[in-house]
Chains A and B, each alone.
Chain A
Amino acid sequence: MRCQKIVFGFLFFVISSTVFSKVTVRIQYIKGEVTVRRGLEEEWKIAKQGMILKDVDTILVGENSKVILDLGDKATFTLGSYSILDIGDLRRITKREMFLYLMSLKIEKIDRTQTDEKIRIQNVSVVRAEKKNTEKKTDMKNNTMDYWTFELNGAEALIQQRYFTNSVMKLVKIYNHYGDQRNPGLIHHRLGQSFEALYEPGRAMESYKKAIQLIQQSGYQNNEYKERFQACDEAIQRIQNKMKNE
């Protein structure tokens, strides 16, 4: 009986996921190279104006390009060059959901203390710190992209357009997937900004401090890192002053 329910439910789920998705958007405006990847597909397809996208879809904006998404209720979202966004990242996320997600990540660490013999360190790639490549390359024909940069730009678009809870979850996902080696402190700087905008001074300070720590560990002295370091430091001061005044 249980499994009949499961099969029926699974079929219902598969159907509903293709028809009754919670977030659906329409491509209102396209400029330049914009592609779409449907659900779990691997291939990117050229996006067209008027296309309906569901929460399982992903949109990618290439060089010198732009897309405006119609979210309904006269709301729109703009995605600029060199960015990737999952349509599901545009769903309304409450603060509570955001914090639950953050907590679940902390809890969801695999406990392997009882199965130490099964630990296998496979081809762990150590990402050596290197200078940031300011040229954001995309080669859609050959399908080689710096996904990290594109994802981060997508997260920044969320911040700019005040989807702060969404940006927090996006940034955390990026960090979990790629780590922080490519641009030390950037993700945590952005997290700090998002938390600050959400009036979460404690978490904002934590993120800024982490960003400073990562920048210091990286040992880089170029202007971008110095500016980021300073920005984080100023942000910490700002938050501390605000807390004192309150």
Chain B
Amino acid sequence: MIKRIAVFLILFFVISSPITGQVLLRSKGLGIRGGIWNSKAMGTNLSASGDVVSISGFGGSLFFFSRAGDHLFIETNIGGMASVHVGDDVEVSSLTAFLFGLRWDAFPSRSKGSFYPYYGFGLGPYGIIRTKVTETPFDEDVSIGSDFKFGFYGSVGTFLNLSNWFAFTFDLKYHVVDFPKDNRYGGVEFSTGFCFLWGRKRELFRIKEIKVIVRDIYPAYYPFYETYPLALVTVQNTVPHPIEVKVKTFVKDYTERIYESGFVKIPAGETKDIPIHALFGGNLLHVDQRKPAMLDVELEARAQQILTKSVSTSIMIHHRNAWNGDVDKLGFFITPDEDSLMKISRSMINALNGQSFDERHTFLKGKVLYQVMKDLKIQYVSDPNIPFYQDDRVQYAMETINMKTGDCDDLVVLYASLLESAGIQTAFVDVRDPEKSLAHVYLLFDTGVSSEKSDCISTNEKRFVIRESQYGYRSVWIPVETTLIDQNFEDAWKAGALQYLQEGILRNGIAEGWVKIIDVQ
């Protein structure tokens, strides 16, 4: 019989562990245990012989625990054991203990499955009551004795979590009572029982903060946000073993799919900043007014189980044409692959290809495309005055062509788009003149002509800029002032060259950094 019970228990433990595996212990619990207590005073005995019945060393306890730290619990036990001897006399003895103790998770980093081994210690008063009823020929003699002693215990045991709210418990204690005088009532106590659990699960990680890096989303820059983080989420590992955390981000109505960061390992006790990106799609380019949006972030941590937490932060989605004034972002408005634009540029280039091909070919293409722009009869106008809104607006090339108007940014973008669609490398010249509190931008394009053959473009070297690529190739670049759209290429070229000479060279703007050349990538 005992063998069958033992086999059953072993099978039960083996089967139940993976079924309910990886459940984290809750913060509070209340349960009961029953077991045997083998003390010198009472021993453990269960016997019945004729009229004599003797039971001793059996008892139980009610216990309660509450989490005090990540792996530390405060435990309270009220219990005891009794001894009953029924023969000629009736003797009943009881040992009641009211104990307060601490309990630690034994192997928190290695606890896999549902077992939560622990060790602990506690102390408190032990009450002893002895009752003896002696039968006499004429009467019953009843004597009652009581005593209070102080003692402590040490314990080891384990919980077997079957679910988030229920667990079995197996406990082994060694009591020391009235040490060092006499330890008659001390001894080993072995008990089993169950408990009900409730309260917060122990956290694997804590979200300390989200630092938003980019609160303003400009739709034109959407490819940029795939690699540039919008925010950093600071995650702290609160368990004494490594965890892995993955971040998922989504902006409703604007991202095409959820961005997943991949698992980031965080060593025990450490804090890490995890960058948050977003996969904005082309639908961002349909935004027609500035709107707030929520950046939803879900953190998924895995250690012994998966735990998720969510957090959100607000961002602002700007109008599709909005531009924050950063010239290095102006390139995002350039659309060389747009079909309509390519048709316009290529039809003019094809006409040019009928002429002889020489080293000035690219330069001539640039000249023809400027004429194309001029022939579109686009009128130069300034930006509208938009109250309470400081952002500039930039039109895409086809928008400028369709609307027949554009400001300096629009015209630079248009000309750059035409040039890039014809395979000509371009760069913006960003001027922030400290003396005039003015900012403006014009264009450079690469003729591809070697610097040593610059004479074929112009014998006056002040009309062009020599730039060296990272491969050491020095070529001739032409500056063009695109706001002179109603004038011919020669005038626009002269105006651009003069600006570059005066601002960039003679006033040292390039060297001092207030004239910058930004390549269109």
CB of A223 closer than 8 Å to a CB of B: no
> Number of contact residues on B: which range applies?
35 or more
CB of B338 closer than 8 Å to a CB of A: no
Residues on B with beta carbons closer than 8 Å to the beta carbon of A100: 508, 511-512
Contact among A17, A37, A109, A176 for B470, CB-based, below 8 A: A109
What's the minimum C-beta distance from A88 to chain B, rounded to whole angstroms? 5
Q: B454–A56 contact, CB under 8 A?
A: no
Contact indicator per residue, chain B 446-466, by CB within 8 Å of chain A (1) or not (0): 001111111100111111001
**Stretch from A7-15, A194-202, A204-212, A236-244 that touches the partner:** A7-15
Q: A101–B511 contact, CB under 8 A?
A: yes
Given contacts A9-B436, A111-B519, contact A177 B450 (CB under 8 A): no
Contact among A10, A108, A113, A179 for B467, CB-based, below 8 A: A108
Q: A3–B407 contact, CB under 8 A?
A: yes
**Stretch from B172-180, B254-262, B496-504 that touches the partner:** B496-504
Residues on A with beta carbons closer than 8 Å to the beta carbon of B454: 177
CB of A156 closer than 8 Å to a CB of B: no
Interface residues of A in 32-61 (CB under 8 A from B): 37, 39-42, 55-56, 58
Q: B359–A122 contact, CB under 8 A?
A: yes
Contact indicator per residue, chain A 69-93, by CB within 8 Å of chain B (1) or not (0): 0000000000000000010100100
Contact among B362, B458, B519 for A110, CB-based, below 8 A: B519
Q: B501–A56 contact, CB under 8 A?
A: yes
Residues on A with beta carbons closer than 8 Å to the beta carbon of B408: 3, 6-7
CB of B213 closer than 8 Å to a CB of A: no
What's the minimum C-beta distance from A106 to chain B, rounded to whole angstroms? 10
Q: B450–A176 contact, CB under 8 A?
A: no
Residues on A with beta carbons closer than 8 Å to the beta carbon of B54: none
Q: A176–B468 contact, CB under 8 A?
A: yes
Q: A86–B466 contact, CB under 8 A?
A: no
**Consensus secondary structure, chain B interface:** mixed
Given contacts A2-B383, A56-B502, A177-B461, contact A122 B452 (CB under 8 A): no
Q: Which residue of A lies closest to B505 (CB)?
A: A88
Q: B468–A109 contact, CB under 8 A?
A: yes
Contact indicator per residue, chain B 508-521, by CB within 8 Å of chain A (1) or not (0): 10111100010101
Residues on A with beta carbons closer than 8 Å to the beta carbon of B508: 97, 100-101
CB of A133 closer than 8 Å to a CB of B: no
Interface residues of B in 365-397 (CB under 8 A from A): 380-383, 385, 392
Residues on A with beta carbons closer than 8 Å to the beta carbon of B519: 110-112, 115
Q: How far is the CA of A10 from the CA of B453 in the complex (A)?
A: 31
CB of B191 closer than 8 Å to a CB of A: no
CB of B46 closer than 8 Å to a CB of A: no
Residues on A with beta carbons closer than 8 Å to the beta carbon of B502: 13, 17, 56
Q: A121–B498 contact, CB under 8 A?
A: no
CB of A5 closer than 8 Å to a CB of B: yes
Q: B382–A3 contact, CB under 8 A?
A: yes
Given contacts A10-B440, A127-B452, contact A118 B423 (CB under 8 A): yes
What's the minimum C-beta distance from A221 to chain B, rounded to whole angstroms? 25
Q: How far is the CA of A40 from the CA of B493 in the complex (A)?
A: 10
Residues on A with beta carbons closer than 8 Å to the beta carbon of B453: 123, 125
Residues on B with beta carbons closer than 8 Å to the beta carbon of A19: none
Contact among A86, A103, A125 for B452, CB-based, below 8 A: A125
Q: A3–B383 contact, CB under 8 A?
A: yes
What's the minimum C-beta distance from A137 to chain B, rounded to whole angstroms? 15
Q: Which residue of A lies closest to B510 (CB)?
A: A104
Interface residues of B in 405-462 (CB under 8 A from A): 407-409, 423, 425, 427, 433, 436, 438-440, 448-455, 458-462
CB of A178 closer than 8 Å to a CB of B: yes
Residues on B with beta carbons closer than 8 Å to the beta carbon of A124: 450, 473
CB of A217 closer than 8 Å to a CB of B: no
Q: How far is the CA of A103 from the CA of B452 in the complex (A)?
A: 23
Residues on B with beta carbons closer than 8 Å to the beta carbon of A2: 382-383, 392, 407, 439
Q: A9–B474 contact, CB under 8 A?
A: no
Interface residues of B in 469-510 (CB under 8 A from A): 469-471, 473-475, 481, 483, 494-495, 497-499, 501-503, 505-508, 510
CB of A120 closer than 8 Å to a CB of B: yes
Q: How far is the CA of A9 from the CA of B458 in the complex (A)?
A: 28
Contact among B462, B469, B503, B511 for A56, CB-based, below 8 A: B462
Residues on A with beta carbons closer than 8 Å to the beta carbon of B463: 40
Q: Which residue of A lies closest to B515 (CB)?
A: A104
Q: A42–B385 contact, CB under 8 A?
A: no
What's the minimum C-beta distance from B392 to chain A, rounded to whole angstroms? 6
Q: Which residue of B lies closest to A124 (CB)?
A: B450
Given contacts A115-B521, A176-B451, contact A13 B499 (CB under 8 A): yes
Q: A97–B460 contact, CB under 8 A?
A: no
Residues on B with beta carbons closer than 8 Å to the beta carbon of A40: 460, 462-463, 494, 497-498, 501
CB of A245 closer than 8 Å to a CB of B: no
Q: B470–A101 contact, CB under 8 A?
A: no
Q: How far is the CA of A41 from the CA of B433 in the complex (A)?
A: 26
Residues on A with beta carbons closer than 8 Å to the beta carbon of B517: 108
7 contacts between A and B (CB under 8 A): A2-B407, A10-B440, A22-B506, A56-B501, A91-B506, A113-B470, A178-B452
- Residues of B participating in the A interface, judged by any CB pair closer than 8 Å: 359, 362, 380-383, 385, 392, 407-409, 423, 425, 427, 433, 436, 438-440, 448-455, 458-463, 466-471, 473-475, 481, 483, 494-495, 497-499, 501-503, 505-508, 510-513, 517, 519, 521
- Residues of A participating in the B interface, judged by any CB pair closer than 8 Å: 1-7, 9-10, 12-14, 17, 22-23, 37, 39-42, 55-56, 58, 86, 88, 91, 97, 100-101, 103-104, 108-115, 118-125, 127, 143, 147, 176-179
